[in-house]
Structure 1
Amino acid sequence: MKITKILNNNAVIVIDDQQEKIAIGAGIAFHKKKNDIVNVHKIEKLFVMKENKKLQQLLNRIPEEHFTISEEVITYAEDYIGTKLNEHIHVALTDHLSFAIERATEGIHLKNKLLHEIKILYKPEFEIGLWAIKHIKEKLSVEMPVDEAAFIALHIHTMKLQGGDLRQTVRHTTIVRDMVQTIKSYLNIEVEEDDISYQRLITHLRFALTRMNHYELHTMDEEMLGMIKKKFPLSYSCATEIAKNLSKVHGVDLPDEELGYITLHIERLRKK
C-alpha cells in the first residue's frame, strides 16, 4: 500500500487494489513521504472517499488536532450506535467541530433553539454529542455548551445510512418545536421535558411528519374521531390550532385522522 499524498500526520492517500483510498491512523505519516509504504498495523480506518479533494482542502486550513478529535468522535459514534456513518461525516463533522472549537475558544457560544426537542427525538445521538464535548474539554481544554452536543447530534443522525438530509431534519425538528409552542400557548401550560407524556407527544409529532413525507397515514374511523372530538373538546380545539398554524407557517396540512391522535396526546399532557 503506497502513499500518493500526505494529508497530515494522521491521514494519507494511498493506492490499494488499484484504487485511491484514504488511510487514517495515529502517526501514520510520521517520517513518511510520497511513494513510501504504509505500515498496515497503523491503519485504523481505510475507505474510498468521493470527497477526498474537499477533505484535503479542509485539512490544509484547520489544526491537525481538530481532525483527530473529529475522527475520535466518529469512531465513538459508530461504536455507540452500532453502524457505519456516511463517508461525508469526515468532511461535515470535521468542518463543523473545527469552527465550533474556534468559536468556543473566542468565547462565542451559539444557542441551539432545538435543544430540548433534539434531546428527546435523537437521544442516542445527543448522548454522543455530550461525550464529544466532554472529550474536547479533556483533550483541548476547550469548554463547550450543551447546545453544541445537540448540533453534533444532528450531524450524527443525518449521517446514519437511514438518517436523511440535515436540512430536512432541522426543518422537522423546528416544526415539532413550533407545534409544542402552540400547545403551551393555547392551553397556557408549562411542561417538563423529562415527563413521559411530553416525550411521547414529541416522538409522535416527529413520526407524524415522517409518515406524511412517505404518504403513510394513521387510519382512524370517523366514529372514533367523532368520539374524541366530543370527549376532549379543548384538546381537539388545540390540535386544530396546531394544524392551522402548521399550514400557514410551514405549508404542511395535517389530515383529520392525525388530528385525532394528536388530540389524545395533548389530553394526556393537559391532564398531567
Structure 2
Amino acid sequence: MKIKKILNNNAVIVLDDGREKIATGAGIAFNMKRNDRVIAEKIEKIFVMRENAKLEQLLSRIPEEHFTISEEIITYAENQMNTKLNEHIHLVLTDHLSFAIERAKEGIYLSNKLLHEIKILYQREFEMGLWAIKHIKERCQVEMPIDEAAFIALHLHTMKPKGGDLHQTVRQTEMIWDMVQSIKSHFMLTIEEDDISYQRLIRHLRFTLTRLSHYELHRMDEEMSVMIQRKFPLAYRCAREMAKNLERQHGIELPEQELGYIALHIERLRKNERL
C-alpha cells in the first residue's frame, strides 16, 4: 500500500490494488511522504466508503483528536452491542462530535427537548452516550451536557443494522414528545421521568406509531373498548384530544382501536399522580 495523500498525522489516503482507501492509525503518517509504503503494523482501520471524498474533506478540516475520539466511541459502542455499525457512522458521528466539542469550548450548549424520551426509548444507546461524554471530558477536558448523550444515542441507534433513518427516528420521537405534552397539559400532570407508568406510556406510543407506519393495527375487542370509555371517561377523552392534536400537528391519524390502550396508560398515570 502506497501513500497517495497525507490527511493528518493519523490518516492517509492509500492506493491498494488500484483503489483509493483511507487508512488510519496512531502516527501512521509520521515522517512519511507521498509514495512511501504504509507500515502495516500502524494501520488500525481501513475505510472503503462511498463517502470517502467527504471523509477526506472532513479529516483535513478538523483536529486529529476529534476523529480519534469519535473512533474510540464507535469501537466502544460496537463492542457493547456486539455488532458492526453502518460505515456512515464514521462520517456523521465525527462531524457531529467535532462541531459539538468546538461549541462547548465556546460555552454554547444545545438543549435536547427529546432527552427524557430518548433515555427511555433508547436506553442502551443513551448509556453509551453517557460513556461518550465522559470519555470526551477525559480526553480533551471539555465538559458536555447530558443533552449531548441523547444526540449521540440517536446517531448510534440509527446506525445499527435495521436501526432506521435518523430523520424518521427524530420525527417519531418528536411526535411522542408532542403526545406526552398533550396528556400532561390536559390534566396538568407533573410526571417524574423514572415513573414506570410514564416509561410504559412512552414505549407504547412508540410501538403504536411503528405499527401505523407498517399499517398494522392493534385490535381491541369492541366490548372492551366500550368498557374502558365508560370506566375511564376522563382518560379516554384525553386520548381522543391527544389523537386530534397528533393529526393536526403531524398529519397522523390514530385509529379508534388504539385509543383504548392509550387511555389505560393515561389512567395509570393519573392514578399515580393522585397517590
Q: TM-score per shorter chain, which class?
A: over 0.9
Q: Deviations over 1:147-206 (max 9, x none)?
A: 111111111111112111111111111111111111111122111111111111101111
Deviation at 1:270, TM superposition (A): 1.5
Q: Deviations over 1:225-251 (max 9, x none)?
A: 112111211111111011000001111
What SS class does the counterpart of residue 137 from structure 2 fall into? helix
Q: Deviations over 1:121-147 (max 9, x none)?
A: 111111111111111111111111111
**Alpha carbons of 1:41 and 1:269: their partners in 2 closer, same or farther (altered >3 Å)?**
same
What SS class does the counterpart of residue 61 from structure 1 fall into? coil
Deviation at 1:219, TM superposition (A): 1.6
User: Partner residue of 1:155?
Assistant: 155
Q: Deviations over 1:242-269 (max 9, x none)?
A: 1000001111000111111111111122
User: Partner residue of 2:69?
Assistant: 69
What is the CA–CA distance in structure 1 between the aligned matches of 2:28 and 2:225, rounded to whole Å? 64
Letter of the 1:151 counterpart:
F
Letter of the 1:74 counterpart:
I
2:87 aligned with 1:87, yes or no?
yes
User: Partner residue of 1:256?
Assistant: 256
What SS class does the counterpart of residue 219 from structure 2 fall into? coil
Letter of the 2:58 counterpart:
L
Letter of the 1:85 counterpart:
L
What is the CA–CA distance in structure 1 between the aligned matches of 2:90 and 2:29, rounded to whole Å? 18
What SS class does the counterpart of residue 54 from structure 1 fall into? helix
**Which runs of 5 or more residues in structure 1 are unaligned?**
none
Deviation at 1:67, TM superposition (A): 1.0
Q: What is the correspondence of 1:203-218 to structure 2 with a 5 Å cutoff?
A: 203-218=203-218
Q: What is the correspondence of 1:234-245 to structure 2 with a 5 Å cutoff?
A: 234-245=234-245
What is the CA–CA distance in structure 2 between the aligned matches of 1:206 and 1:143, rounded to whole Å? 32
Deviation at 1:17, TM superposition (A): 4.9
User: Partner residue of 1:196?
Assistant: 196
User: Partner residue of 1:29?
Assistant: 29
**Alpha carbons of 1:227 and 1:17: their partners in 2 closer, same or farther (altered >3 Å)?**
farther
Following TM superposition, the consecutive aligned residue runs of length 4 or more in structure 1 with deviations greater than 6 angstroms are none
What is the CA–CA distance in structure 2 between the aligned matches of 1:98 and 1:148, rounded to whole Å? 12
Q: How many residues align?
A: 272
Q: What is the correspondence of 1:1-272 to structure 2 with a 5 Å cutoff?
A: 1-272=1-272
What is the CA–CA distance in structure 2 between the aligned matches of 1:99 and 1:81, rounded to whole Å? 26
What SS class does the counterpart of residue 242 from structure 2 fall into? helix
What SS class does the counterpart of residue 4 from structure 2 fall into? strand
Deviation at 1:91, TM superposition (A): 1.2
Deviation at 1:26, TM superposition (A): 1.6
What SS class does the counterpart of residue 15 from structure 1 fall into? strand
What SS class does the counterpart of residue 86 from structure 1 fall into? coil
**Which runs of 5 or more residues in structure 2 are unaligned?**
none
What is the CA–CA distance in structure 2 between the aligned matches of 1:207 and 1:2, rounded to whole Å? 51
Letter of the 1:25 counterpart:
G
- Percent identity of paired positions between Structure 1 and Structure 2: 74
Once the two structures are overlaid, the 10-residue window that deviates more, 226-235 or 6-15, is 6-15
What is the CA–CA distance in structure 2 between the aligned matches of 1:231 and 1:243, rounded to whole Å? 20
Letter of the 1:189 counterpart:
L
RMSD: 1.4
Deviation at 1:18, TM superposition (A): 4.6
What SS class does the counterpart of residue 23 from structure 1 fall into? strand
Letter of the 1:47 counterpart:
F
TM-score (norm 2): 0.94
What SS class does the counterpart of residue 242 from structure 1 fall into? helix
What SS class does the counterpart of residue 189 from structure 2 fall into? coil
What is the CA–CA distance in structure 1 between the aligned matches of 2:103 and 2:213, rounded to whole Å? 36
